[in-house]
Every structure is written in C-alpha cells, then in structure tokens.
Chain A
C-alpha cells in the first residue's frame, strides 16, 4: 500500500525520491502515525513535497488515492505489514541504497511493536493513538486549546475532503526551464584573467613571505582576477517567437542578474538581424547595427536566441525584411556573417527542438553559427563553446 502511494505520487508528477519515502517510513515507525489520516496527510507532505507549487498536485494525488478507502485504511496495520515484509520501490540509486542500509528495519519494527503494546496497555479499549481510523483528536478543527483553525479544515471533515478543497491551487507554477537553472548554467560562463585596477592584498602569499622573512611582515599584492567574458545577447521577439516568450524572459532575466560578466549588453531583433537592433522593440527604439558592430571585437561573444524560422528570402534577399516598410540593403544572412566575423566566438540558441532543424533557414544559419537547443543541456554545451573548452563548429557549407 505504501509503495503504491509512492508510485501514485510520482504518477502525479511529484519528484518523490526513495530517500524521502524512507524518511516517511521511519517517521511512522517512531510514532508519528497516530493512525489519523489528517496527520498522515501532513506528515507525508512535509517529508515528500518540498515546493508549495506542488501542494495542489499532492492534494489531487492524495484525494484520488484515499477516496473511498479512507475509513478502512489503518495506518498501523499497513505499517506493521510493511515492516515485516518490506517491499521496496524499484530502481534504487547507490545513494538511496546506502540510505536504506543505514535504516535498520528490524530495529524500527521492534520499536513500533513496543509502541503499539505500550498504547494498548495505557489505553485499554480507548485507543487514542492507534487503530481508531481517523477518530483521533489530533488535527481536527476545534481541538486546539487556543482555538486556532487548521488551514480551512473544519471540525470533523476527513483528510480526503480537505485534500479535495485544493487550497493550494493558486500556488501552482508549471515551469519548463526555471531562472535558477539558467542562472546556474550561465554561471559557468567565465574565463578568469588578471585584470587591471587596484591591487588586492594576497593574504596567503603575505603569510608565506612573512614567515620566510623571519616574521617581519612582507605585504604581497597581486592584480585581482576578473571574469573577462563580454557578452552580447541578441533575442528574437515577436511573431513565431511568441510561444517562447516566457523562456526568453527567463534567459534574459537570469543573464541580466548574472553580475559576473566583464561587460554585458542585450538587444532585440525581429525575425532576423538587419540595419537596426532594438533596446525596446515595442517602440522601435534602437541603434544602427553597424555602430554596435564597431564596438565589438574578437574578445566579445555574441549569443543569438531565435527560432531561425522564416521565409528563405527574408534571410537571403535584399529588401526581404519581414516589415514591409523596411527595405534592407544588406541581406539578413550577411548581417549574421558580419557578427560572426567580428566575434568568432559566438553561438545561436534555438528554442525549437533539434528535429525540425533541417528547415531551410535554420540550416543556412547553422552554417554561420553553431546552434544549440535552448534547454539545460543545449545551454550548457553552448556555454562550453563560449568558454573555449568545446570546439566551435558551424555546419560545413
């Protein structure tokens, strides 16, 4: 039963691990069960669900699992049965196996039996803690001496009823790639280098040198080490990029917050790079691309983000820009090549999956920039190219 519950939670998309599940078994065995489904509801949640955004999923999983059986479900019987014949979820990792070995099941079983006996002696017949099937005073509405209500659970309502209230619905957040993950990946984007600027006191060297100097203090200074990455982020917005807006926003905010770059600039473009790049696309407020190019040199890296999905003539023809009043003299592809020539250490991140990358314009752009998927793995690979620890290879023409 408990193992079923574990899989049931996983089935609802909760990332419950066996380590956490074993913690629950331990907590039950040392007396936290109290045979009350209310208590079990909270106990299982605080040990296995670690984000309030997942509480709603937990409520749905809990309600559907215990619906109908709540009155017959006896936690102590179930636990005793499990402890005497421990069935384990499959697919243990090494770490989990170690945890399991650390958890002495025999000892837990003994402890739990003692606890049961103790309770039977103390509350003959009255069974306050064990085997009362949800009638324990704990966790019910009016019981608390100070009269505090339990988050919405009125007196006498069952744990399943409380779970079906779905009180945490508003806390859901269905995320794909979150800012933290992007931030972590971007953090790897650093090349440390000696920098100009005021020197810093090197404590370790000072101590070594002073010691060699028979205790006479010899201060050692060194130039500070700084990240020398200069990054220009160019993001495609609007049109076919609309479905990816949230993802791009996250990438943007993570990059913006990363304060470890030597220089960081961002610009937006629409569909493809042409004469102008924008700081605010809704007001067409921007800067001539040629002026931006002049500022850049080979020490800069350019990271372009876009689906590279357009009509071929928008990329390869003069006057092919998607906005009809805009007649470009230089083709989009040539603008991209200019960036590549100016800053050879550049990449393209594509939010579209790799399987559609043989589309004509994507294929052409891949001959200019090495392209990576905008996923955690793709981002990490791309960053390794920018750091120079993975070969920078565009497709052969």
Chain B
C-alpha cells in the first residue's frame, strides 16, 4: 500500500469508517473535513493521527477575525519600520520579516505533517473559499519576496466544523467528508464515568433514558450535548433527586435546555406521555 495507514491510538478509538476516511484523505491528498456535534472528539482526531503516524502536528485555531492570508504568512512591516529607524540591523533582506502561519509552515517542512484547521466555521463566510487555491495546489506565493513555495510533502489536513455556518460548495467539493455521530448509550456511559466515577447505576440508567428520549424529539431546535448532560447529572446528584422523580418530573431541565421554545416543547412532549 502506498499510503500511511491510520489505525487509531490507545486513547483514541477510531471506528473503521473513520479510519477509512482518514486513509482516503491521506492517500488522495485532500483535506478531511470532520463535522459532528460538540464533544464528539473532532479536534482530538488530528492529535491521534499525528501520534499514530508519528508526524508533527501544526494547529491553526480559527477565530471570527481570522484571515486566510494569516495562515500562509504575515509581512511584519512594523518590525521592519522599527529596525529601519535605528539603523543597527540590515533590513534589506525582506524574507526575515516574513512570518509564516501554520498553513505556510505545513508546506515548508521537510517531512509530512498533520495540519489541524480547527473550527473553520468560526471565520468569515468567504474564508474557506480563500483557501481553495492553496489547499488544491499546496503552494503559495510570497509577493514581498517574489518567491513561490510548494509543499515537498503534502500535509494531512484535518478541518473541523461545528456547522455554525454553511460552508461553500466549491470548498466542500474538494474535501473528504466525515461525520462523527453522537455517542450511543454505551459509549456515553463510558464518558460519564470519566466525569462521575461513582454515579449510581440506577440514576445513570434513568438519566440516559431521558436524555436520549429528549434528543430524539423532532421539535427541538438545539439538542443538548454531552457537557450539558454531565452538568445535569451533577445538578441531580447535588439536589438529591430521587430516581423516580427523574421519570415523573424531569427536574432541573434548565441545565439541559437553554432555549425557551425547546423547554416548552419538552414539557409538552412529556405531558403527552411520550416517555415510555
């Protein structure tokens, strides 16, 4: 096989589907776009790939103000201006003022690296389109020095998105897409035991039953996530709520649901007696 085979690590259990997606992205040298609800391990995936394939990891955390150009390089004009003023440095070599961003660095290294572009949907709507050319060609041009840099070793690019904004079609076409499904009951139990090691089995059973019932309600605008479930369990335990009343009353629902509409929808469904 001509491609590196990612198989997961001791702490990161990758499903065969996910392993296949990673390996296809790596072999076709296309970015892997990973989507999924918060808390499904999107960011950790890049770390696991880097660990498993023994490659350095470069991370680019996207913020609402991030610009595509910053990922490639920034020309530090202010530093140069400052240096020019005191005349104690040679400023004729512009390249010393070119500061490479994570994307630029990942093209310039002398070995294959893993590049994580985290939460791409946080940025401006046009941001993904501005990256198309560079991600396709894996090369970029530095105008200030007139130099073209091409990647010798194409990085494995992992892009995560929380789906806050729709991503442009042209960008999606170029990616390999993987959706990490929300953990099922058994997986969720393991996650909860990490946070509440001494939780009572009956409480846990009841809570999970309600939680997954709630998430299945079609009328919810925002489904509660793992972290909210963990908070809910903490609230229930601290409040000393009995397991029976979890079933009959759904106490402390405000910890799980943050929207008024959703809260009403849940209460209405509960009254309709759809809990079985």
Interface set of A (CB-CB < 8 Å, partner B): 15, 17, 19-20, 23, 26-27, 30-32, 39, 42-43, 45-47, 49-52, 55, 138-139, 143-144, 146, 148-152, 167-168, 170-171, 178-181, 183-184, 187, 203, 206-207, 210, 215, 217
Chain A interface secondary structure, helix, strand, loop or mixed? helix
Q: Mark B167-211, 1 if CB is under 8 A from A, else 0.
A: 001001101111101001000000000000000000000000000
* Assembled-state Cα–Cα distance A203/B179 (Å): 44
| Any A CB within 8 A of the CB of B23 | yes
Contact of B27 among A27, A150, A181 (CB under 8 A): A27
Chain B residues near A50 (CB-CB < 8 A): 33, 172-173, 175, 177
Q: Is B20's CB under 8 angstroms from A43's CB? A: yes
Report 9 cross-chain contacts, Cβ distance below 8 Å, ordered by A residue. A43-B24, A46-B25, A46-B176, A51-B177, A179-B166, A180-B125, A180-B165, A184-B125, A203-B77
Q: How many whole Å from B204's CB to the nearest CB in chain A?
A: 20
Contact between chains at B23 and A32 (CB < 8 Å): yes
Q: CA of A32 to CA of B5 in the docked complex: distance in angstroms?
A: 11
Q: Which residues of B contact A51 (CB under 8 A)?
A: 172, 177
Of B15, B24, B172, chain A has the most CB atoms within 10 Å of the CB of B24
Q: Are B8 and A146 interface neighbours, CB within 8 A?
A: yes
Q: Which residues of A contact B154 (CB under 8 A)?
A: none
Instruction: Please state if B13 and A148 are interface contacts (CB–CB under 8 Å).
Output: yes
Q: Which of A47, A210, A217 contacts B24 (CB 8 A)?
A: A47
Interface centre among B85, B177, B184 (most CB of A within 10 A): B177
Residue of A nearest to B82 (CB): A217
Provide the residues of chain A in CB contact with B27, threshold 8 Å.
27, 30, 32
User: Does B218 make an interface contact (CB < 8 A)?
Assistant: yes
A184 to B178, CA, bound (A): 26
Identity of the chain A residue whose Cβ is nearest the Cβ of B30 in the assembled complex:
A23
Contact of A17 among B3, B173, B176 (CB under 8 A): B173
Q: How near does chain A come to B27, taking the closest CB pair, in angstroms?
A: 6
Known contacts A15-B169, A32-B20, A144-B16; A207/B30 CB under 8 A: no
Tell me which residues across on chain B come within 8 A of A52, comparing CB atoms. 35, 179
> Could you say which of A43, A184, A207 contacts B81, with CB atoms under 8 Å apart?
A207
Q: Would you give the shortest CB distance from B75 to chain A, in whole angstroms? A: 10
Supposing A49-B177, A184-B125 touch, asked if A30 and B20 sit within 8 A by C-beta, the answer is no
Q: State the CA gap A30–B29 with chains docked (Å).
A: 13
Tell me the bound Cα distance from A210 to B91 in angstroms. Answer: 15
CB distance from B247 to the nearest CB of A (A): 24
In the bound assembly, the distance between CA atoms of A183 and B217 in angstroms comes to: 29
Asked if residues B81 and A210 are in contact (CB atoms below 8 Å), the reply is yes
- Give the residue of A19, A149, A151, A183 whose beta carbon is less than 8 angstroms from that of B173: A19
- Determine the chain A residues whose CB is within 8 A of the CB of B13 once the complex forms: 146, 148
Query: At the interface, yes or no: B106 with Cβ under 8 Å from chain A?
Result: no
| B84 interface residue per 8 A CB criterion | yes
Contact pick for A217, options B23, B25, B85, B176, CB 8 Å: B85
Shortest distance from the beta carbon of A118 to any chain B beta carbon, whole Å: 10
CA distance A33 to B9 in the complex (A): 24
Q: Name the B residues within 8 Å of A43 (CB-CB).
A: 20, 24
* Shortest Cβ-Cβ A-B pairs, 10 listed: A180-B166, A50-B172, A52-B179, A46-B21, A50-B177, A42-B17, A148-B13, A46-B176, A139-B16, A42-B20
Contact check, A207 vs B85: say whether CB atoms are below 8 A apart: no
Residue in chain B with minimal CB distance to A151? B181
Bound CA span A139–B250, Å: 39
CB nearest neighbor in B for A217 = B85
By beta carbon, the residue of chain A nearest B85 is A217
